[in-house]
Chains A and B, each alone.
Chain A
């Protein structure tokens, strides 16, 4: 069988087999992309569905005054029983797309994770772990790109619709992202800051996660 392989340079352990089968890598990425999309799609759909129902049933004088604004980005959505089902659909689709994009970007560094895994486990198969550390940098890159990209797309959707001036709620992001405005340059400035912020949050997240698993699965 011809193996289109990626050679990993493991200087400290030259005897180790360090070739990753490209077909296996692609299959694994495709499979995990699908599963991430399913999980995130389910969470996105269920989350928006129950948030809508909660907003409807809290007995407020004007239910969904702010959540209705999601209808700008999700046509047909509103805080109503029917809108909850439309939200379920939109939330599922959006969540699935986000999940797929997230894993695809995360998986770009999968080869590095393999190399890291081998270097950390030079003792061989005896060190088999069912729980492995999550790459904070890769996760930060993926989640940061996703959130920054989402900010650019949603902001410029408002600009494209011609409602940038009326978008007072979007402008509230200025409080957290100095320099952000509902415009193309403003969205880029905001996106850069958001990327950095999310990236750092992911580093913190992975530091905590990896710290706990190293103690629990020592």
Chain B
């Protein structure tokens, strides 16, 4: 039987590594919060013609994010919402990734043990 090479071990480590839930949530929350802030800020800086509302469509996010408006205050509030939602999404993705890998690894170990028992 061939021994597994160091590169193969590294590949398996990379492929089956866990995702750090805290780091994933923090990073995703930070980036999503920043993006929502920038999206609002771009519209505010570009502005609109006199008498025309700025960013009426982006403001529809207020349906899902209570209090959000296309204003500088809304941009900050949106950043906070973005951070919370991004963090939640990041944590769910990381959790599901880890869970599906854990299930697979467990199934693989059980199968290997069962096969060894059968051989013995």
A35, CB-defined interface residue at 8 Å: yes
The answer to whether B20 and A114 have CB atoms under 8 Å apart is no
The answer to whether B57 and A212 have CB atoms under 8 Å apart is no
A 33-74 binary contact with B (CB < 8 Å = 1; else 0): 001101100110000000100110010100000100000000
- Give Cα A98–Cα B35 distance, bound, in whole angstroms: 21
- Give Cα A42–Cα B97 distance, bound, in whole angstroms: 11
Interface-central residue, A39, A54, A216, by most chain B CB under 10 Å: A39
The answer to whether A114 and B14 have CB atoms under 8 Å apart is yes
* Chief secondary structure at chain A's binding surface: helix
Nearest chain A CB to B83's CB is how many angstroms away?
12
B49, CB-defined interface residue at 8 Å: no
How many A residues face the partner with a CB closer than 8 A? Answer: 53
- Give Cα A64–Cα B97 distance, bound, in whole angstroms: 32
The answer to whether B42 and A24 have CB atoms under 8 Å apart is no
B11, CB-defined interface residue at 8 Å: yes
The answer to whether A118 and B8 have CB atoms under 8 Å apart is no
A residues near B (Cβ < 8 Å) are 1, 3, 8, 16-21, 24-25, 28, 31-32, 35-36, 38-39, 42-43, 51, 54-55, 58, 60, 66, 110, 113-114, 117-118, 121, 125, 128-132, 134, 169, 172, 175-176, 201, 204-206, 208-209, 212-213, 216-217
**Which of chain A's residues have a CB closer than 8 A to the CB of B22?**
212, 216
Nearest A residue to B55 via CB reads: A175
**Which of chain A's residues have a CB closer than 8 A to the CB of B96?**
39, 42-43
- Some 18 contacts from A to B, beta carbons below 8 A apart, are A8-B7, A20-B7, A20-B8, A21-B5, A21-B8, A31-B104, A32-B15, A36-B97, A39-B96, A66-B57, A110-B11, A117-B14, A118-B10, A134-B19, A169-B57, A205-B30, A212-B22, A216-B22
- Give Cα A176–Cα B45 distance, bound, in whole angstroms: 12
- Give Cα A175–Cα B7 distance, bound, in whole angstroms: 47
B112, CB-defined interface residue at 8 Å: no
In the A-B complex, the 4 residue pairs with the smallest Cβ-Cβ separation, listed nearest first, are A212-B23, A208-B27, A17-B5, A209-B27
- Give Cα A176–Cα B30 distance, bound, in whole angstroms: 20
Nearest chain A CB to B65's CB is how many angstroms away?
11
**Which of chain A's residues have a CB closer than 8 A to the CB of B8?**
19-21, 24
**Which of chain A's residues have a CB closer than 8 A to the CB of B13?**
117, 128-130, 132
Nearest A residue to B89 via CB reads: A43
The answer to whether B11 and A24 have CB atoms under 8 Å apart is yes
Nearest chain B CB to A115's CB is how many angstroms away?
8
Chain B residues 24-75 with CB under 8 Å of chain A are 24, 26-28, 30-31, 34-35, 39, 42-43, 46, 57, 60, 63-64
Given contacts A21-B5, A172-B57, A205-B31, contact A28 B11 (CB under 8 A): yes
